[in-house]
Amino acid sequence: MKFIVKHEIEGRLRIHIIQGKMSYQEADTLLYYLESLKNVKKAKVYEQTADAVIVYQGEREEIIASLQSFRYDCAVVPANVLENSGRALNAEFKEKLISKVIMRLCRKLFLPYPLRAFYIAVKSIRFLGKGLHCLLKGKFEVPILDAAAIGVSIFRGDFNTAGSIMFLLGIGEILEEWTHKKSVGDLARSMSLNVEKVWLKQNGQEILKEVSQVHPGDQVIVRTGNVIPFDGTVATGEAMVNQASLTGEALPVKKETDGYVYAGTVVEEGELTILVKKISGSTRFEKIIAMIEESEKLKSAVESKAEHLADRLVPYTFLGTVFAWILTRNITRALSVLMVDFSCALKLAMPITVLSAIREASSRRITVKGGKYLEALAAATTIVFDKTGTLTKAQPTVKEVISFCDSTASEMLRIAACLEEHFPHSMAKAVVRAAKEQNLEHEEMHSKVDYIVAHGIASYIANQRVVIGSHHFVFEDEKCTIRKEYERQFEQLPNEYSHLYLAIEQELAAVICIEDPVREEAAEIIRQLKREGFEKVVMMTGDSMRAAAAIASKIGVNEYYAEVLPEDKANFIQKEKQAGHVVVMVGDGINDSPALSAAHVGIAISDGAAIAREIADITISADNLQELIALRRLSKAMLRRIAWNYRIILGVNGVLILLGISGIIPPTTSAFLHNASTLGIGLKSMNNLLIEEA
């Protein structure tokens, strides 16, 4: 790619790409490429000017070399990114706003007053029709006020005021629709599929393939806890599938042979072989948008309260108009009340504030599925953490494999990796990664693999039953034993590691020692959460009491619980809720799903199990827990802005009514100032919240 450097400071470049007009697709392709570079922290691409701004770390020469090697036709970009980037949406609404302002100026400057009055009268029919429709339905809502204000202005021959009211209402509608669609689009994109590889069934074998290599007619295997990557029919198998993200159904749906499954749903229990019908992810994106737009349950209580209050205020505005006329016997002063209503600003500002907060969270790689969860997060007093992959690093590592049989440690690791590669858990990923580093081939040598949530995995190899999992699963549930000659060795297992137990034919075969270090930021995050108002910070883990105690002492939680099952976590949260606490749960695994569902706010780690992300109300990236602090501050800032909006709306409109009744300002000025203030409050509500907090 040819380009010139327009401006630069250390760690930041602004370049101009030498080409003709840049298309939206080219801009999105370049942006995706830049953001995928490991040393690029942030990037923006401006298609209007063919410019790009790159914030980077490391060597400048590396960035320049990467830019020089870039080619649009060689870049591999997921179709979902190009189809639903939001760039075209922004351009569309910018054009709408500019066109509306220009047309308004042209009409005022070049259109004779009689023609302008006729145009305004025709245009008012839409607003008058909406008001009449509300009246016929017996509802006193905001459109009635708009229709009355416009209708009275036209009746009095004041076409300029009527035109100003309609212009400001139109601008408000565009801004509200733009903010709403952009926020919903950002949210839906962040909820879209992020599947890179799938298990493909070919010639009786399971082969791990890139998603891009899958075609309609292929058969894909999906097991417990994994996301279904494509629309298709069930070829074989039986499973309970969570479809909440598409249908809103709380309970999983049973899927069996010939049943239809959708991309983005998650297998909660069981295993399916799916005959792929569609490979595009756009249908899921559209379904998510429909779900978000239609779901009333995602609205915050303050948002719903504002909408209901707005509608309830309409009759009082009419009563105020009548009262002002009785008091002053002046129709002009009475109309000042009609020209000013509280409900318009309430209905505009509150939803925009909530959607702006969700959009701002999305810009920080945080997915929030509804305003109600931000509101609950602001009020939360208890936060519960899972340990593995949440408070500890997302990439635990195998430090040692100790054999308790005649086979070598490498052979035991090979068997463990063969079983673990099918399941989405940080410990399983550590085992597979260790086998890969040692160049151990672990082709499919087992029969069907059964995953027992929060316990382990069971299968058969050469007609021998093999299990791998926790101490409780291997020794208590499966009743496995230790050969006498290895008992002393077992007692001397290193205490500083977590242990994964592998048994063959009910006899311990190996112990895999896994280092699961605490995140560097964990202790500081716990301290900050307490400063942010959390009264109780709890850690819960299925790991041993020894490992839990060591980590709890390092990070400073109020309470910790070890060797717990999924239902134990959910039960603890229910007890906290019954005690009157608002509870947040943070987790990443399949075993965290019941607790994530039970909490007021469930927060999942982005690279955890698909079922955890599906059930969770909020998803944060795995890079840094600092996002929890940002979320808490964002949620509080959202409520503060809403409270500020209430005060300003009541104050400004109250003053305008008093000025109008007293005769200080005419109705036309009241209407203008009311609509201008409403627009100003709406624009203010679109601003980022945390920038103001800084």
* Position 549 pLDDT exceeds 90: no
Compare 488 and 544 and report the one with higher pLDDT. 488
The mean pLDDT value for 193-208 works out to 74
State residue 288's pLDDT score: 53
Q: Quickly name the fold that domain 197-280 has.
A: 2.70.150
Question: 44 phi and psi, to 5 degrees?
Answer: -140, 140
- Burial class from Cβ neighbours inside 10 Å (0-12, 13-18, 19+) for residue 352 reads buried
Identify the residue with better confidence: 570 or 657: 570
The pLDDT value given to residue 694 = 38
What pLDDT shows up at residue 506?
Answer: 93
Please determine, for residue 107, whether its predicted confidence score (pLDDT) is greater than 80.
yes
pLDDT digits (tens, 9 = 90+) for 631-642: 999 999 998 988
Residue 251 has pLDDT above 70, yes or no: no
Point out the least confidently predicted range of 24-28, 172-176, 185-189, 661-665. 185-189
Residues 283-297 have a mean pLDDT of: 51
617's CB contacts (< 8 A; 6+ apart) are 368, 369, 370, 373, 596, 601, 602, 603
Cα separation, 468 vs 404, in Å, equals: 14
Q: How confident is the model at residue 445 (pLDDT cuts 50, 70, 90)?
A: low
Q: How confident is the model at residue 551 (pLDDT cuts 50, 70, 90)?
A: confident
Q: Residue range 521-541: average pLDDT?
A: 93
Give the count of alpha carbons within 13 A of 653, CB side only: 25
Asked if residue 299 has pLDDT above 80, the reply is no
Comparing 92-96, 285-289, 514-518, 553-557, the range with the smallest average pLDDT is 285-289
Tens of pLDDT, residue by residue over 325-351, are 787 777 667 766 766 666 666 766 777
Structure tokens at 38: 């490991």
pLDDT of residue 572: 94
How much is the pLDDT for 211?
73
If one compares 100 and 683, the residue with the highest pLDDT of the two is: 100
pLDDT for the residue numbered 383? 96
**Alpha carbon 417 to chain centroid, angstroms:** 32
Is residue 229 over pLDDT 90?
no
Residue with more model confidence, 314 or 588: 588
- Determine the Cα–Cα distance for residues 117 and 100; give it in Å rounded to an integer: 17
Mean pLDDT over each residue of the chain, to the nearest integer: 81
| CATH code of domain 3-77 | 3.30.70.100
Starting at the edge strand found earlier in the chain, the sheet holding 40-46 runs: 3-9, 12-17, 51-56, 40-46
Closest CA to 222 of 280, 278, 283, 274: 274
Answer whether residue 408 shows pLDDT above 80: yes
Q: Evaluate if residue 296 carries a pLDDT over 50.
A: no
Up-side HSE of residue 134: CA atoms within 13 Å toward CB?
18
Mean pLDDT across 547-566: 87
pLDDT band at 501 (very low <50, low <70, confident <90, very high): very high
State the Cα angle at 152 between 146 and 158, rounded to 5°.
110
Task: Using the predicted structure, report yes or no on whether residue 562 has a pLDDT greater than 90.
Answer: no
pLDDT at 123: 93
Q: Which pLDDT score is estimated for 282?
A: 46
Confidence at residue 295, expressed as pLDDT on a 0 to 100 scale:
45
Mean pLDDT for 178-191 is 62
CA atoms within 13 A on the CB side of 507: 11
Say if residues 452 and 470 touch (Cβ distance below 8 Å): no
Region 543-568 average pLDDT:
85
Residue 238 has pLDDT above 70, yes or no: yes
pLDDT-derived band at 512, boundaries 50, 70, 90: very high
How sure is the predictor about 97, in pLDDT bands with cuts at 50, 70 and 90?
confident
Q: Which residue has the higher pLDDT, 289 or 232?
A: 232
Contacts of 19 (CB under 8 A, 6+ apart): 2, 50
Domain locations along the chain: 3-77, 92-188+297-354+636-693, 197-280, 367-393+518-620, 397-515
Model pLDDT, residue 203: 78
3-state secondary structure 125-156: HHHHHHHHHHHHCCCCCHHHHHHHHHHHHHHC
The hierarchical CATH code for the domain 367-393+518-620 is 3.40.50.1000
Specify the range with the lowest mean pLDDT, choosing from 121-135, 168-182, 473-487, 599-613: 168-182
Confidence of residue 313 (pLDDT cuts 50, 70, 90): low
pLDDT at 442: 64
Q: Where are the alpha helices (DSSP H) in 514-601?
A: 522-531, 545-555, 566-578, 593-598
Average pLDDT over residues 447-452: 70
Ranking 53-57, 360-364, 585-589 by mean pLDDT, the lowest is 360-364
The CATH number of 397-515, from 1.20.210.10, 3.40.50.300, 3.40.50.1980, 3.40.1110.10, is 3.40.1110.10
